[in-house]
Amino acid sequence: MLTKRIIACLDVRSGRVVKGVQFVDLVDAGDPAELAKRHAAAGADEVVLLDITATHEGRGTLLETVRRTAKELFIPFTVGGGIRSAEEAAAVFDAGADKVSINSAAIADPDLIDAIGRSFGAQAVIVAIDARRVPNSPVSHAEVFVSGGRTRTGRRVIEWAREAEARGAGEILLTSMDADGTRAGFDCELTAAVSEAVEIPVIASGGAGSAEHFAQVFQAGKAHAALAASIFHFGIADVRALKQELARQGVPVRLPC
Protein backbone atom coordinates (compact mmCIF):
# COMPACT_ATOMS: atom_id res chain seq x y z
CA MET A 1 0.00 0.00 0.00
CA LEU A 2 1.21 3.50 -0.82
CA THR A 3 2.18 5.05 2.48
CA LYS A 4 1.60 8.54 3.84
CA ARG A 5 4.85 10.49 3.79
CA ILE A 6 6.39 12.37 6.69
CA ILE A 7 8.60 15.09 5.27
CA ALA A 8 11.21 16.82 7.38
CA CYS A 9 11.50 20.48 6.47
CA LEU A 10 14.60 22.56 6.98
CA ASP A 11 13.91 26.28 6.80
CA VAL A 12 17.30 27.75 6.02
CA ARG A 13 18.63 31.26 6.33
CA SER A 14 22.28 32.14 5.67
CA GLY A 15 23.19 28.48 5.56
CA ARG A 16 21.65 27.69 8.96
CA VAL A 17 18.39 25.98 9.81
CA VAL A 18 15.91 28.29 11.52
CA LYS A 19 12.28 28.03 12.45
CA GLY A 20 9.94 30.84 13.26
CA VAL A 21 6.46 31.19 14.59
CA GLN A 22 4.13 32.52 11.91
CA PHE A 23 7.08 33.41 9.70
CA VAL A 24 8.88 35.66 12.22
CA ASP A 25 10.92 35.29 15.44
CA LEU A 26 13.59 33.05 13.92
CA VAL A 27 15.53 30.68 16.17
CA ASP A 28 18.77 28.95 15.15
CA ALA A 29 18.35 25.16 14.96
CA GLY A 30 21.52 23.84 13.34
CA ASP A 31 23.46 22.75 10.27
CA PRO A 32 21.26 21.69 7.31
CA ALA A 33 23.46 18.80 6.08
CA GLU A 34 23.77 17.33 9.54
CA LEU A 35 20.06 17.71 10.33
CA ALA A 36 18.99 16.24 6.96
CA LYS A 37 21.09 13.16 7.59
CA ARG A 38 19.75 12.82 11.10
CA HIS A 39 16.13 13.05 9.89
CA ALA A 40 16.75 10.43 7.18
CA ALA A 41 18.28 8.07 9.73
CA ALA A 42 15.31 8.62 12.03
CA GLY A 43 12.88 7.57 9.28
CA ALA A 44 11.88 10.75 7.43
CA ASP A 45 10.46 9.83 4.02
CA GLU A 46 11.78 12.97 2.36
CA VAL A 47 13.69 16.13 3.17
CA VAL A 48 12.75 19.61 2.02
CA LEU A 49 15.16 22.53 2.26
CA LEU A 50 13.51 25.92 1.99
CA ASP A 51 15.66 29.00 1.69
CA ILE A 52 13.13 31.18 3.44
CA THR A 53 14.76 34.51 2.86
CA ALA A 54 15.82 34.10 -0.77
CA THR A 55 12.92 35.88 -2.39
CA HIS A 56 12.73 39.13 -0.52
CA GLU A 57 16.45 39.60 -0.11
CA GLY A 58 17.02 38.77 -3.75
CA ARG A 59 19.60 36.10 -3.03
CA GLY A 60 19.99 32.99 -5.11
CA THR A 61 19.44 29.57 -3.61
CA LEU A 62 22.31 28.39 -1.50
CA LEU A 63 23.84 25.99 -3.97
CA GLU A 64 26.70 25.07 -1.72
CA THR A 65 24.33 24.19 1.12
CA VAL A 66 22.28 22.12 -1.31
CA ARG A 67 25.35 20.27 -2.56
CA ARG A 68 26.54 19.51 0.96
CA THR A 69 23.10 18.39 2.11
CA ALA A 70 22.47 16.21 -0.95
CA LYS A 71 25.80 14.46 -0.80
CA GLU A 72 24.85 11.75 1.65
CA LEU A 73 21.08 11.85 1.38
CA PHE A 74 19.53 8.86 -0.42
CA ILE A 75 15.88 9.75 0.00
CA PRO A 76 14.01 12.35 -2.07
CA PHE A 77 15.36 15.86 -1.58
CA THR A 78 13.44 19.00 -2.49
CA VAL A 79 14.83 22.53 -2.58
CA GLY A 80 12.82 25.73 -2.64
CA GLY A 81 13.32 29.44 -2.19
CA GLY A 82 14.55 31.97 -4.68
CA ILE A 83 14.19 29.85 -7.82
CA ARG A 84 13.06 32.30 -10.47
CA SER A 85 13.94 30.66 -13.77
CA ALA A 86 14.41 27.28 -15.43
CA GLU A 87 18.18 27.99 -15.39
CA GLU A 88 18.17 28.52 -11.63
CA ALA A 89 16.16 25.32 -11.24
CA ALA A 90 18.73 23.50 -13.39
CA ALA A 91 21.53 24.68 -11.11
CA VAL A 92 19.65 23.36 -8.06
CA PHE A 93 19.09 19.98 -9.73
CA ASP A 94 22.74 19.92 -10.70
CA ALA A 95 23.66 20.48 -7.05
CA GLY A 96 21.72 17.34 -6.10
CA ALA A 97 18.05 18.24 -5.62
CA ASP A 98 15.44 15.79 -6.92
CA LYS A 99 12.61 18.29 -6.94
CA VAL A 100 12.29 22.04 -6.76
CA SER A 101 9.58 23.91 -4.96
CA ILE A 102 8.50 27.17 -6.53
CA ASN A 103 6.23 29.73 -4.94
CA SER A 104 6.47 33.48 -5.59
CA ALA A 105 8.15 32.97 -8.97
CA ALA A 106 5.34 30.70 -10.16
CA ILE A 107 2.76 33.35 -9.30
CA ALA A 108 4.80 36.03 -11.08
CA ASP A 109 5.43 33.80 -14.11
CA PRO A 110 3.20 30.70 -14.22
CA ASP A 111 4.98 29.53 -17.41
CA LEU A 112 7.88 28.65 -15.14
CA ILE A 113 5.92 25.57 -14.00
CA ASP A 114 5.58 24.37 -17.59
CA ALA A 115 9.21 25.18 -18.40
CA ILE A 116 10.76 23.24 -15.50
CA GLY A 117 8.34 20.35 -16.08
CA ARG A 118 9.34 20.12 -19.72
CA SER A 119 13.04 19.89 -18.90
CA PHE A 120 13.00 17.79 -15.74
CA GLY A 121 9.61 16.07 -15.67
CA ALA A 122 6.44 16.98 -13.80
CA GLN A 123 7.55 14.86 -10.83
CA ALA A 124 10.36 17.36 -10.23
CA VAL A 125 8.11 20.41 -9.81
CA ILE A 126 6.35 21.20 -6.56
CA VAL A 127 4.23 24.31 -6.47
CA ALA A 128 4.25 25.71 -2.94
CA ILE A 129 1.24 27.72 -1.89
CA ASP A 130 1.21 29.91 1.22
CA ALA A 131 -2.44 30.21 2.12
CA ARG A 132 -4.36 32.40 4.50
CA ARG A 133 -8.06 31.99 5.30
CA VAL A 134 -10.33 35.01 4.89
CA PRO A 135 -12.14 35.59 8.22
CA ASN A 136 -15.85 34.73 8.23
CA SER A 137 -15.63 33.34 4.69
CA PRO A 138 -15.80 29.81 3.31
CA VAL A 139 -12.61 27.81 2.83
CA SER A 140 -12.88 28.32 -0.94
CA HIS A 141 -12.03 32.00 -0.38
CA ALA A 142 -8.62 31.24 1.13
CA GLU A 143 -6.02 33.47 -0.48
CA VAL A 144 -2.50 32.95 -1.84
CA PHE A 145 0.35 34.97 -0.30
CA VAL A 146 3.90 35.26 -1.64
CA SER A 147 7.35 36.51 -0.64
CA GLY A 148 7.50 34.50 2.55
CA GLY A 149 3.94 35.45 3.44
CA ARG A 150 4.54 39.17 3.11
CA THR A 151 2.50 39.95 0.02
CA ARG A 152 -1.11 39.11 -0.80
CA THR A 153 -1.89 38.17 -4.38
CA GLY A 154 -5.67 38.35 -4.48
CA ARG A 155 -5.67 34.83 -5.97
CA ARG A 156 -7.75 32.04 -4.49
CA VAL A 157 -5.85 28.97 -3.29
CA ILE A 158 -8.03 26.34 -4.93
CA GLU A 159 -8.03 28.03 -8.32
CA TRP A 160 -4.27 28.48 -8.21
CA ALA A 161 -3.77 24.83 -7.23
CA ARG A 162 -5.85 23.75 -10.21
CA GLU A 163 -3.89 25.98 -12.56
CA ALA A 164 -0.59 24.67 -11.20
CA GLU A 165 -1.78 21.11 -11.85
CA ALA A 166 -2.92 21.97 -15.37
CA ARG A 167 0.50 23.46 -16.09
CA GLY A 168 2.22 20.26 -15.04
CA ALA A 169 3.06 20.55 -11.33
CA GLY A 170 3.75 17.14 -9.80
CA GLU A 171 2.71 18.00 -6.25
CA ILE A 172 1.24 20.86 -4.23
CA LEU A 173 2.89 21.95 -0.99
CA LEU A 174 0.17 23.74 0.91
CA THR A 175 1.19 25.83 3.90
CA SER A 176 -1.45 27.30 6.17
CA MET A 177 -0.01 30.59 7.34
CA ASP A 178 -2.70 30.78 9.99
CA ALA A 179 -1.54 27.50 11.52
CA ASP A 180 2.19 27.73 10.79
CA GLY A 181 4.38 27.54 13.88
CA THR A 182 1.46 27.37 16.29
CA ARG A 183 1.77 23.60 16.93
CA ALA A 184 -2.01 23.65 17.27
CA GLY A 185 -2.70 21.34 14.31
CA PHE A 186 -2.91 21.50 10.52
CA ASP A 187 -5.72 23.29 8.72
CA CYS A 188 -7.50 20.06 7.75
CA GLU A 189 -10.47 21.77 6.16
CA LEU A 190 -8.29 23.76 3.75
CA THR A 191 -6.06 20.77 3.00
CA ALA A 192 -9.05 18.55 2.19
CA ALA A 193 -10.54 21.23 -0.06
CA VAL A 194 -7.32 21.47 -2.10
CA SER A 195 -6.78 17.69 -2.16
CA GLU A 196 -10.29 17.19 -3.53
CA ALA A 197 -9.77 19.89 -6.15
CA VAL A 198 -6.68 18.36 -7.76
CA GLU A 199 -5.53 14.90 -8.81
CA ILE A 200 -1.87 15.39 -7.87
CA PRO A 201 -0.69 14.71 -4.31
CA VAL A 202 -0.99 17.43 -1.68
CA ILE A 203 1.61 17.94 1.03
CA ALA A 204 0.17 19.61 4.12
CA SER A 205 2.27 22.07 6.06
CA GLY A 206 1.91 24.36 9.02
CA GLY A 207 0.75 23.66 12.53
CA ALA A 208 2.14 20.22 13.40
CA GLY A 209 2.45 19.79 17.15
CA SER A 210 1.55 16.17 17.89
CA ALA A 211 1.10 12.76 16.28
CA GLU A 212 -2.62 13.28 16.55
CA HIS A 213 -2.35 16.31 14.24
CA PHE A 214 -0.67 14.19 11.56
CA ALA A 215 -3.36 11.51 11.84
CA GLN A 216 -6.00 14.20 11.44
CA VAL A 217 -4.45 15.73 8.32
CA PHE A 218 -4.01 12.31 6.67
CA GLN A 219 -7.57 11.27 7.47
CA ALA A 220 -9.88 14.30 7.63
CA GLY A 221 -7.43 16.47 5.68
CA LYS A 222 -6.94 13.93 2.87
CA ALA A 223 -3.25 14.85 2.64
CA HIS A 224 -0.78 12.47 0.98
CA ALA A 225 2.17 13.78 2.86
CA ALA A 226 2.77 16.14 5.73
CA LEU A 227 5.62 18.39 6.49
CA ALA A 228 7.04 19.37 9.81
CA ALA A 229 10.03 21.31 11.00
CA SER A 230 10.20 22.51 14.57
CA ILE A 231 8.44 19.46 15.94
CA PHE A 232 11.59 17.42 15.23
CA HIS A 233 14.37 19.89 15.87
CA PHE A 234 13.64 20.37 19.50
CA GLY A 235 13.12 16.71 20.31
CA ILE A 236 9.36 16.86 20.71
CA ALA A 237 9.12 13.70 18.62
CA ASP A 238 11.33 11.85 16.21
CA VAL A 239 9.96 10.55 12.93
CA ARG A 240 10.08 6.92 13.95
CA ALA A 241 8.07 7.51 17.12
CA LEU A 242 5.62 9.60 15.13
CA LYS A 243 5.20 6.85 12.54
CA GLN A 244 4.70 4.18 15.18
CA GLU A 245 1.92 6.24 16.70
CA LEU A 246 0.36 6.83 13.26
CA ALA A 247 0.49 3.10 12.51
CA ARG A 248 -1.38 2.46 15.76
CA GLN A 249 -4.05 4.86 14.54
CA GLY A 250 -4.42 2.99 11.26
CA VAL A 251 -2.46 5.37 9.02
CA PRO A 252 -0.28 3.48 6.48
CA VAL A 253 3.34 4.58 6.98
CA ARG A 254 6.76 3.27 5.98
CA LEU A 255 7.78 1.06 8.90
CA PRO A 256 10.33 -0.23 9.66
CA CYS A 257 12.29 2.68 8.29
Partner 1 sequence: MTITVIDYKAGNLTSVMKALDALGCAAMVTADPDVVRRATQVILPGVGHFQATQMLEDTGLAAAVSDSIARGVGFLGICVGLQWLFEGSTEAPASKGLSVFSGQCERFAPGVKVPHVGWNEVRVDPQSRLMRGVEDRSFVYYTHSYRAPVVSETVAVTEYSGPFSGAVERGNVMGVQFHPEKSGVAGMRVLKNFVELAC
- The region of 79-87, 127-135, 197-205, 237-245 touching partner 1 under the rule CB under 8 A is 197-205
236 is a contact residue toward partner 1 (CB under 8 A): no
* By the rule CB under 8 A, 45 interacts with partner 1: yes
Long-range contacts of 14-21 (CB under 8 A, 24+ apart): 14/53, 15/62, 15/64, 15/65, 17/233, 18/52, 19/181, 19/229, 19/230, 19/233, 20/181, 21/180, 21/181, 21/182
Select the residue interacting with partner 1 from 26, 63, 75, 184 (CB under 8 A): 75
Report the residue from 155, 201, 236, 240 that binds partner 1 according to the rule CB under 8 A: 201
Contact set for partner 1, span 141-180 (CB under 8 A):
170-171
256: left (phi over 0), alpha (psi -120 to 50) or beta: beta
Binding of partner 1 at residue 123 (CB under 8 A)? yes
Strand duo 5-13 + 16-21: pairing: antiparallel
> Do the beta carbons of residue 152 and residue 145 sit within 8 Å?
yes
Question: Quick one: which of 28, 34, 64, 71 contacts partner 1 (CB under 8 A)?
Answer: 71
Tell me if 60 contacts partner 1 by CB under 8 A.
no
Size of residue set near partner 1 by CB under 8 A: 32
For position 225 contacting partner 1 by CB under 8 A, the verdict is: yes
The amino acid present at 53, given as its one-letter code, is: T
Nearest to 251 by CA among 228, 231, 221: 221
38 binds partner 1 per the rule CB under 8 A: no
Rounded Cα distance between 65 and 48, Å, is 12
Closer residue to partner 1 (CB): 47 or 52: 47
**Is 187 considered catalytic here?**
no
CA distances from 204 to 10, 27, 68, 86 (A): 15, 22, 27, 25
Stretch in the footprint of partner 1 (CB under 8 A) among 9-17, 74-82, 146-154, 180-188: 74-82
Closer to partner 1 by CB, 80 or 148: give it: 80
**Comparison of 18 and 173: residue with beta carbon closer to partner 1:** 173
Q: Assess contact for 61 and 44: CB atoms under 8 A.
A: no
- To the query of whether residue 98 is one of the catalytic residues in this protein, the response is no
Q: Which residues pair with 51 in a beta bridge?
A: 12
Task: Report the catalytic residues.
Answer: 11, 130
Q: Which residues bind partner 1 (CB under 8 A)?
A: 1-5, 40, 45, 70-72, 74-76, 93-96, 98, 120-124, 170-171, 199-201, 224-225, 254, 257
